Amino acid sequence: MKTIKTKKNIMIAKSIGFCYGVRRAIELAEESSKGGKVNTLGPLIHNPSEIKRLEKKGITKVDSLDDVKDSVLIRAHGVPDSIIRRAEKMKLNIIDATCPNVKKLQKIVKGLEKEGYFLVIVGEKDHPEVKGIMSYVENFQIIDDLDEIKKLDFHEKIGVVFQTTQNHEKLEKIVPLIRKKCNELKIKDTICPATTHRQKAAKDVAKKSDLMIVIGGFNSGNTKRLVQICSKIVNTKHVETDKQLKGSWFKGKENIGIAAGASTPDYVIKKIVERIGNFDD
Amino acid sequence: MKTIKTKKNIMIAKSIGFCYGVRRAIELAEESSKGGKVNTLGPLIHNPSEIKRLEKKGITKVDSLDDVKDSVLIRAHGVPDSIIRRAEKMKLNIIDATCPNVKKLQKIVKGLEKEGYFLVIVGEKDHPEVKGIMSYVENFQIIDDLDEIKKLDFHEKIGVVFQTTQNHEKLEKIVPLIRKKCNELKIKDTICPATTHRQKAAKDVAKKSDLMIVIGGFNSGNTKRLVQICSKIVNTKHVETDKQLKGSWFKGKENIGIAAGASTPDYVIKKIVERIGNFDD
């Protein structure tokens, strides 16, 4: 944890800035944009500031393969299998920026189905990573809320995987509930190590703070989880950019904690820290 | 549940008498004793009354393969793999009365080790079934008490199995604790269905009783578990035969519940029920 003494005591979580998967996706995008315009199917990562910066370099988002000119960049969250196959048929140049941890998860679900497991995917139903994963299997159920386990039928063999940015606390709560729904249970802890470290670091800072500022895209799943985790400990605000900060939040608050999602650029964090330091009490 | 109205209200658990594995072992023993004397390595089942009855038919227990004359009968709980191999080398006639559920479990642990799992066997360290199972694997830890999980190291992959006569409540408690000790967890619910039904039936009766009598060998694991389960609900006594019943237990008790382990013969249960019915208040 780094502490910056301004008018406020600003404590920055130990694990902050781009994760490996996001950094790799951006590097691949920048590298491939040197050869001409590049299209991504949906946003490359879940951070509007960074997406805007990349747009200026000719890396633009399209909504359908039909709109792709030559090269299609697969977003960090991965895409459904059918998209890759269609892009191959269309003979597009495919640049795969799928996070290696997500790629591994896609392979894992395929393997589990082959071994005869009914798949339980713990994650957000509408998140692109989850949509990608579910495309690799036929017999599955997505569970986001613990309550949804009630609707889960009994299966002889159940295999459980987790969206790579899920929360470990949720994992531990879900396991004993799913246990009763089968005779054989296989649990793969597919939450990526970076997510775990980031969540732990955010928690450590939140415990010492009077107010937590979590920085990241409003569409970013891992940022939302950081907000949920910190909210249980202390008053927490989620912002995408410094423009959303409100002076009133900081009145009478001495210790301000900072955490950020895996796709939050350092320059966004820096700007926010500077602005907080300048707020009057 | 069968209710017998005597001076007492005697309620007998729905699931009582020999389980399939015990009945099969006794039938195999009786059948093979027709061809001459038969030796078992250790007691065939864990019920002294039944063992005595079988002795009269020439089915006798020995402690070592060296004492076996021609035929060796493998007990219902199974034996370590090395014993079978030694008996084969000695060219003994092997009659395998291992319970099919135990046999299946022996295969399961072998398979899990082959798949790279570190084995956790939940069961009684000194029980012959557990000793048999552990002989099939090299990398394992036996866990009987939940506290022992503290001593369990972290392993990439852990496979968990259960002595076939374990308690489901314990299974459910252990799973979330072992979860944290690995990245991949495979749980095989190897508790046999007969055990589960018997435990549930005993529980149902215990809830309606003022006193529970659990009948079965003092060396019988599944009977001990019935005693543990019923003790949490009502005052419970464990007896092997009618001779151990004490009139004082029944003073002022109207509703008497009866449950019995999987190796308790019907004639032992019958005698006990008759004796209880004759106790004065």
d(CA A207, CA A235): 11
Q: Which residue of B has its CA nearest to A187?
A: B185
Handedness of CA B74, B78, B80, B82 (dihedral sign): positive
d(CA B268, CA B271): 5
What tokens appear for A174 in the block?
Answer: 């879900």
Mean per-residue pLDDT of chain A: 94
Task: Report which residue type is found at B166.
Answer: Q
Q: What is the mean pLDDT of residues B212-217?
A: 97
CB spacing of A187 vs B189 below 8 angstroms? no
Candidate from B175, B186, B189 with C-beta closest to A176: B175
Residue B172 touches chain A, beta carbons under 8 Å = yes
d(CA A237, CA A231): 8
d(CA A177, CA A173): 7
Q: Predicted confidence band at A280 (pLDDT cuts at 50, 70, 90)?
A: low
pTM: 0.86
**Chain B partners of A186 at a C-beta cutoff of 8 Å?**
184-187
Q: What is the pLDDT of residue A278?
A: 84
Q: Which of helix, strand or coil describes residue B132?
A: helix
Residue A144 touches chain B, beta carbons under 8 Å = no
Residue B1, pLDDT > 80, answer: no
Tell me whether residue A129 is one of the annotated catalytic residues. yes
Q: Which of helix, strand or coil describes residue B20?
A: helix
DSSP B125: T
Residue B272 touches chain A, beta carbons under 8 Å = no
Residue A183 touches chain B, beta carbons under 8 Å = yes
Residue B179 touches chain A, beta carbons under 8 Å = yes
Q: What is the pLDDT of residue A24?
A: 96
CB spacing of A186 vs B183 below 8 angstroms? no
Q: What is the pLDDT of residue A2?
A: 80
Q: What is the pLDDT of residue B37?
A: 85
| Active-site hit among A50, A124, A129, A240 | A129
Candidate from B182, B183, B187 with C-beta closest to A179: B187
d(CA A54, CA A63): 17
Residue B281, pLDDT > 70, answer: no
Listed residue (B21, B19, B68) closest to B40, CA to CA: B68
B82-119 per-position pLDDT tens digit: 999 999 999 999 999 999 999 999 999 999 999 999 99
Q: Which residue of B has its CA nearest to A179?
A: B172
CB–CB of B128/B79 below 8 Å?
A: yes
B162-213 per-position pLDDT tens digit: 999 999 999 999 999 999 999 999 999 999 999 999 999 999 999 999 999 9
Q: What is the mean pLDDT of residues B218-225?
A: 94
Q: What is the pLDDT of residue A281?
A: 60
Candidate from A176, A183, A188 with C-beta closest to B176: A176
**Chain A partners of B187 at a C-beta cutoff of 8 Å?**
179, 184-187
